């Protein structure tokens, strides 16, 4: 039974010949004292010291189709910011929140404040009607967006960074010098091997960051934001941007972008060594030999799972803040349990079809397919278990393979060494009526090793057909240790 499921899970590699054919067609410095708390740095090691819990500390709710946020008994929520609210004097909260990370305000002083911190939020994409007044009728009638409409949409994406504080039991927005926005019009640097190359139109800067999906925090206290569906900004039928903004360069989007929430003077950087694809998020861990290892998914049907290994070892007391500019990028072959190196210099197939390593990095999906990487069922969030260092991946679904409910797959690196080029894997949980969840998207581990899963049944399928019984998208918890291990709540 298992093998059949595995077969359904991973899309078969397409023939090399077909691929070859397809391929042919196609600095500011700042001073922060690094005194990060051990508890924070432990997030980046598989400490194997997580607390076991045999208690389910909330009363799970039933699926609901009510148009409201339904919480378990004893829980409440505060609205801190909403679209259009002020972030600073002249900056406003963006549209469609995605990634949300809380960073203790005293992080760099060895602290872990849980009632005073910075919120870092991604804004993924605009709804044209609300943001720029561009209607469905306009689209049907081939009306072009004005420059102003395009700019309004560009400004609604990117990230919001602002201070929050808990006062008398409620969370509040706080005006602060750290509060700011970066959007589709901000200046962003391009860093790493592709910067300044002809593949990037010789640029060291890009206009803005867009389609910011999920992300990840680094062990030096910065945040990476994932540019996901950048093609939506490029499709003339969709947003009609390319012909409005003449300086728009397609290759400048689809990267992981690094921000320093503590330093308003830091210009964010697109880290090209991490490759260009529809980035969903990033999860980092320090390997046994001290190098950093980053896992990333390309959220598209029949796309891939990637891993980046830094060249240098990570020093928490004196971190090299550009450590992500140098290293090796791999892509997963689930059939052979191997990480395939995307390296122009040492790969004949890559040399035959690309011009340089920059060309490989700009066109990761094509390079990955050329090497025979496994086509997956929409790899979304990836998170690393704090209990044993295994790597959990949410495969959301794949309509092309009749995988409607998705699954969660777990990778175990050879010898538990994250830099290893070999791995084993298993299906940890499958979506469907038996488990009660469908279309897993964002993942997170808490300190007890409980896996949290947010579902993302697309709005056009929600509460309909085979998805009806799951009702609205929900947050699920699976304990990964203790007597409740593997049960879904």
Query: Binding of ligand FEO at residue 183 (CB under 6 A)?
Result: no
Q: How would you classify the pairing of strands 379-384 and 376-377?
A: unpaired
Options 151, 153, 228, 303; binder of ligand FEO; rule CB under 6 A: 228
Q: How would you classify the pairing of strands 301-303 and 376-377?
A: antiparallel
CA distance 435 to 245: 47
- Residue 228 binding result from ligand FEO, Ca ion, none, given CB thresholds of 5 to 8 Å by partner type: ligand FEO
Sign of CA pseudo-dihedral 419, 278, 182, 184: positive
Tell me, residue by residue from 457 to 486, as one string, x for binding to ligand FEO by CB under 6 A and - for no binding. Answer: ------------------------------
- Residue 251 binding result from Ca ion, ligand FEO, none, given CB thresholds of 5 to 8 Å by partner type: none
Residue 377 contacts by C-beta under 8 Å, 6 or more apart in sequence?
Answer: 9, 10, 11, 301, 395, 396, 397, 398, 401, 403, 406, 407
128-157 residues in contact with ligand FEO (CB under 6 A) are none
Query: Binding of Ca ion at residue 227 (CB under 5 A)?
Result: no
The pair of three-digit structure tokens given for residue 489, joined into one six-digit string: 């709540």
Nearest Cα to Cα of residue 356 among 372, 343, 371, 366: 343
375-434 residues in contact with ligand FEO (CB under 6 A) are 380
Options 10, 32, 103, 124; binder of ligand FEO; rule CB under 6 A: 124
268-287 residues in contact with ligand FEO (CB under 6 A) are 280
Query: Binding of ligand FEO at residue 325 (CB under 6 A)?
Result: no
Residue 347 contacts by C-beta under 8 Å, 6 or more apart in sequence?
Answer: 341, 371
Options 10, 98, 162, 303; binder of ligand FEO; rule CB under 6 A: 98
267-326 residues in contact with Ca ion (CB under 5 A) are none
Total residues contacting Ca ion by CB under 5 A comes to 2
Query: Binding of Ca ion at residue 383 (CB under 5 A)?
Result: no
Beta bridge partners of 429: 408
CA distance 335 to 342: 18
Point out the residue whose Cβ comes nearest to Ca ion: 441
Q: How far is the CB of 282 from Ca ion (least distance, A)?
A: 12
> What backbone torsions phi and psi does residue 467 show, to the nearest 5 degrees?
-95, -5
Options 299, 303, 375, 413; binder of ligand FEO; rule CB under 6 A: 299
Query: Binding of Ca ion at residue 441 (CB under 5 A)?
Result: yes
Distance of CA 483 to the CA centre of its chain: 31
The neighbour count for residue 315, using CB atoms within 10 Å, is 12
Nearest Cα to Cα of residue 429 among 421, 440, 419: 440
- Residue 124 binding result from Ca ion, ligand FEO, none, given CB thresholds of 5 to 8 Å by partner type: ligand FEO
Is the distance from CB of 117 to CB of 163 less than 8 angstroms?
yes
- Residue 298 binding result from ligand FEO, Ca ion, none, given CB thresholds of 5 to 8 Å by partner type: none
* Span near Ca ion by CB under 5 A; candidates 12-20, 301-309, 352-360, 372-380: 372-380
Per CB under 5 A, residues contacting Ca ion are 380, 441
Contacting positions for ligand FEO (CB under 6 A)? 98, 124, 213, 228, 280, 299, 380
């Amino acid at each position: 039974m298992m093998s059949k499921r595995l077969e359904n899970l991973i899309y078969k590699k397409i023939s090399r010949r077909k691929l070859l054919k397809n391929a042919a067609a196609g600095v500011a410095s700042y001073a922060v004292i690094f005194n990060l708390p051990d508890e924070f740095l432990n997030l980046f090691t598989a400490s194997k010291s997580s607390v076991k819990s045999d208690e389910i500390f909330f009363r799970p709710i039933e699926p609901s189709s009510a148009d409201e946020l339904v919480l378990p008994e004893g829980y409440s929520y505060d609205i801190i910011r909403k679209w259009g609210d002020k972030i600073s004097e002249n900056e406003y909260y963006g549209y469609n929140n995605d990634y949300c990370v809380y960073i203790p305000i005293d992080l760099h002083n060895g602290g872990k404040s849980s009632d005073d911190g910075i919120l870092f939020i991604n804004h993924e994409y605009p709804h044209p009607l609300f943001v720029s007044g561009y209607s469905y009728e306009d689209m049907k009638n081939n009306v072009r967006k004005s420059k102003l409409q395009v700019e309004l949409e560009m400004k609604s994406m990117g990230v919001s960074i602002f201070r929050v504080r808990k006062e008398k039991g409620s969370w509040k927005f706080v005006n602060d010098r750290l509060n700011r926005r970066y959007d589709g019009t901000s200046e962003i640097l391009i860093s790493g091997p592709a910067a300044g190359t002809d593949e990037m139109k010789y640029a060291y800067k890009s206009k803005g960051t867009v389609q910011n999906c999920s992300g990840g925090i680094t062990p030096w206290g910065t945040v990476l934001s994932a540019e996901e569906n950048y093609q939506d900004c490029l499709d003339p039928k969709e947003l009609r941007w390319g012909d409005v903004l003449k300086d728009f360069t397609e290759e400048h989007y689809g990267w992981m972008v690094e921000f320093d929430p503590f330093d308003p003077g830091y210009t964010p950087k697109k880290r090209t060594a991490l490759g260009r694809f529809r980035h969903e998020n990033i999860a980092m861990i320090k390997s046994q030999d001290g190098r950093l290892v980053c896992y990333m998914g390309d959220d598209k049907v029949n796309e891939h799972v990637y891993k980046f290994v830094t060249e240098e070892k990570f020093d928490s007391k004196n971190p090299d803040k550009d450590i992500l500019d140098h290293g090796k990028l791999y892509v997963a072959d689930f059939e052979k349990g191997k990480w395939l190196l995307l390296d122009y210099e040492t790969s004949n197939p890559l040399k035959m079809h690309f011009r340089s390593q920059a060309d490989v990095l700009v066109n990761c999906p094509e390079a990955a397919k050329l090497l025979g990487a496994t086509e997956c069922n929409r790899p979304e969030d990836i998170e690393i278990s704090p209990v044993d260092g295994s790597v959990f991946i949410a495969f959301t679904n794949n309509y092309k393979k009749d995988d409607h409910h998705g699954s969660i797959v777990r990778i175990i690196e050879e010898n538990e060494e994250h830099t290893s080029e070999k791995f084993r894997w298993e299906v940890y949980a499958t979506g469907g009526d038996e488990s009660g969840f469908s279309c897993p998207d964002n993942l997170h581990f808490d300190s007890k090793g409980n896996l949290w899963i947010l579902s993302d049944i697309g709005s056009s399928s929600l509460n309909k057909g085979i998805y009806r019984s799951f009702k609205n998208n929900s947050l699920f918890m699976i304990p990964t240790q203790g007597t409740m291990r593997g049960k879904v709540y």
